[in-house]
Amino acid sequence: MKVIELYKFLDKKIPSSLSCEWDNDGLMCCPDEKKEVRRVLVTLDVTSGAVEKAKSENCDVILSHHPLIFKGIKSITPSECVPAKAIELIRSGIAAMSFHTRLDALAGGVNDVLASKLGLHNTVPFGVGGEAIGRVGTLELPMKPEVFAELVKKALGAPAVLLADAGRDVYTVALLGGEGGDDIDAARAAGADTYVSGRLGYHAMTDAPENKINLIEAGHFYTEFPVCDFLASLVKRADRNIECVPFFSNRIKLI
């Protein structure tokens, strides 16, 4: 399977029609669209470490959730972070393709994988306006906030989570992988007693008791990283002979 064929397969499975208007993803870098794909590095982020790993593992493609190129590039020089990675990819003949908010919204994507990890049932989309990319569902049985926060921590392999306890048992849970601070009101409107996201913010967490919703901040990386297994499974569906190489791109340490 060639690079462009793999991209078209994934683009069909994860259509851009699901993307938020402000997003930028897709085939980010492609030195040779007709190159045969034998190995794919699957990662949440296209870090310089991911690029080096792809080179050392003889990968033909880097497949990521977060886009290599998100904001406009004004110059192509090795002194700038994103252009430097693009230059190295082109020099090494490695393509990069990313699927961002469309993968968040996709049935079976980021937020459905997260919901499954946390044991939610009967999940449905929720969100702000037309961007209903989060999920809300229920647990089998209610539990105390601290017990559920510990479950979240273990399920995601996170070193720690932050809990703002609003004094409510946890049963109806809303979630949004990554940055979810703008969707707290939407989570409440969806009937959630608890909201889990990667990053929510100090003031929102402080106001949780007044707003009568438990908030759990579990880390941007840890709420989204589980989707990498899903991406690898799609690559295997495209061509079972392609080998997927996982890469753990988190650079943020809890000290």
The domain that holds 151 is classified in CATH as 3.40.1390.30
Question: 251 lies in a domain?
Answer: no
pLDDT in tens, 189-217: 999 999 999 999 999 999 999 999 999 99
Q: Is residue 239 part of a domain?
A: no
The answer to whether residues 114 and 218 belong to one domain is yes
What pLDDT does 75 receive? 85
Q: Which residues contact 240 (CB under 8 A, 6 or more apart)?
A: none
Same domain, 138 and 91: no
246 part of a folded domain: no
On whether residue 86 sits in a domain, the answer given is yes
What 3-state class would DSSP assign to 217? strand
* Closest C-alpha among 74, 69, 133 to residue 107: 133
Domain boundary residue among 79, 100, 121? 100
Dist CA 228 CA 155 (whole Å): 15
Q: Domain range spanning residue 174?
A: 107-223
What percentage of the chain exceeds 70 in pLDDT? 100
pTM over 0.85: yes
Burial 148-168 (b: 16+ CB within 10 A, else e): bbebbbebbebeebebbbbeb
Q: Report yes or no on 73 lying in a domain.
A: yes
Number of domains the chain contains: 2
